[in-house]
């Protein structure tokens, strides 16, 4: 056997091994991305569930939110504070969902649920009162996106207390 042929066979074997390694690593990366995506979706769904648990478990929070949805200006300072921080808390969850959607870590349907729910809060009388101030707590790109949605679709977005009528 000649050394040139042996060298060529060795190089071919090395190239095939490299290609197989590359395919394996690519497959592992895709699997890791899928696991990470599922983990992020669970995490944000849990955060949302925990957020809404506050109004189920604390009558004062429920009363403050329910009052401020419709009568923010006439509500007492404590209720306005509770409502404002409640809205900001959900806005932060929606912001996280926006960035995760942009980066491919949650799917379109899940993201639309977070966005639509946030919009139902922001179009209430109380939401309209605090939006000019709380929108500054978001990243500029998210704030711009939601502002555009409120301008374009605001009249057609149902209010949170119409979607969830016990408020």
pLDDT in tens, 94-129: 999 999 899 888 889 889 999 999 999 999 999 999
In a domain, 73, yes or no: yes
In a domain, 4, yes or no: no
Domain that holds residue 82: 37-163
DSSP structural state of residue 51: H
The residue count of the chain comes to 167
Q: What are phi and psi of 128, to 5 degrees?
A: -65, -35
In a domain, 97, yes or no: yes
In a domain, 134, yes or no: yes
142-160 tens-digit pLDDT: 999 999 999 999 899 999 9
* 36 neighbors 47 (Cβ within 8 angstroms): no
pLDDT (mean) for 19-31: 75
In a domain, 89, yes or no: yes
**Which is more confidently placed, 41 or 134?**
134
In a domain, 47, yes or no: yes
The domain total for the chain is 1
For residue 134, give Cα distances in angstroms to 21, 23, 27, 92, 140: 50, 47, 43, 10, 12
In a domain, 99, yes or no: yes
Q: What tokens appear for 3 in the block?
A: 């050394």
**For position 55, what pLDDT does the model report?**
87
In a domain, 158, yes or no: yes
């Amino acid at each position: 056997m000649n050394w040139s042929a042996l060298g060529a066979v060795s190089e071919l074997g090395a190239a095939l091994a490299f290609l197989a390694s590359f395919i394996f690593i690519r497959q592992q990366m895709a699997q890791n991305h899928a696991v990470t995506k599922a983990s992020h979706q669970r995490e944000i769904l849990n955060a949302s569930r925990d957020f809404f648990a506050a109004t189920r478990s604390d009558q004062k929070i429920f009363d403050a939110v329910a009052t401020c949805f419709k009568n923010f200006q006439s509500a007492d300072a404590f209720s306005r504070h509770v409502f404002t921080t409640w809205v900001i808390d959900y806005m932060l969850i929606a912001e996280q969902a926006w960035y995760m959607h942009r980066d491919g870590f949650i799917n379109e349907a899940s993201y639309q649920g977070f966005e639509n729910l946030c919009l139902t809060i922001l179009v209430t009388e109380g939401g309209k009162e605090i939006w000019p101030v709380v929108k500054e707590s978001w990243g500029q790109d998210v704030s711009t996106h939601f502002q555009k949605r409120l301008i374009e679709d605001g009249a057609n977005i149902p209010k949170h207390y119409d979607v969830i009528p016990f408020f």
